Amino acid sequence: MDDLHGGDGAIEQSAPAWGVFGDLMSGLLGAFVLILVGVLGVQLELATTLEAEVQKRRVEEQRREALEKALAVPLASGRVTLNDGRIGISGSVLFALNSAELQPEGRQVLRSLAPPLAAYLATREELLMVSGFTDDRPVLDSNRRFADNWDLSAQRALTVTRALIEEGVPSSAVFAAAFGSEQPVASNADEEGRARNRRVEMAPVPRSAQQAAALEASGG
């Protein structure tokens, strides 16, 4: 009889252990499910991000190809460059040193650029940003027309913008920006580098980007 009672006691003591084990397994299974859901969510997010990046690069590539095709003739002349969607013109082609008055050669280059740029912009939701850049040397202007390099780069960008409008680019599709001696493309330690930094660049940008820049400038 004692043995039987002893056996019943062993069974009664082991029952709670199985319950704890079951609860532990249920907890582990729940944690595993949560981890699996989290991993799948991360993978889905990465796949979405990758797809968006691929689409963005595809659009950029199509944009560059369209721009190259539109500017084939000006690019062939060698006086205009196209790099990562930025159309570059040497400052020496457009302007004399410390001047914002267009030279005859510069006017001719802009005259060749205006029609294909106008045609390109007419088919896209983009604006043309005309940016002026200088070297880092102080402006030597005896007539004091320019306060500094910022002023000079702004006047040059405005001159090019007005010339493009006169040649047929819609005024609603182009705007000017000034960068002074910021964002150099070469060292300002020698004349060759400074000559490269004295330049005007044109780049199509989404209309939303220009509107955001205008709001930021106005403090909105």
Residue-wise pLDDT tens digits, 124-180: 899 999 999 999 999 876 667 899 999 999 999 999 999 999 999 999 999 999 999
DSSP element (H, E) containing 82: strand 81-83
Per-residue confidence band for 219, with pLDDT thresholds at 50, 70 and 90: very low
Burial class, 186, CB count within 10 angstroms (exposed 0-12 / middle 13-18 / buried 19+): middle
Best CA proximity match to 85, nearest among 67, 109, 58, 62 = 67
What's the whole-model pTM score?
Answer: 0.69
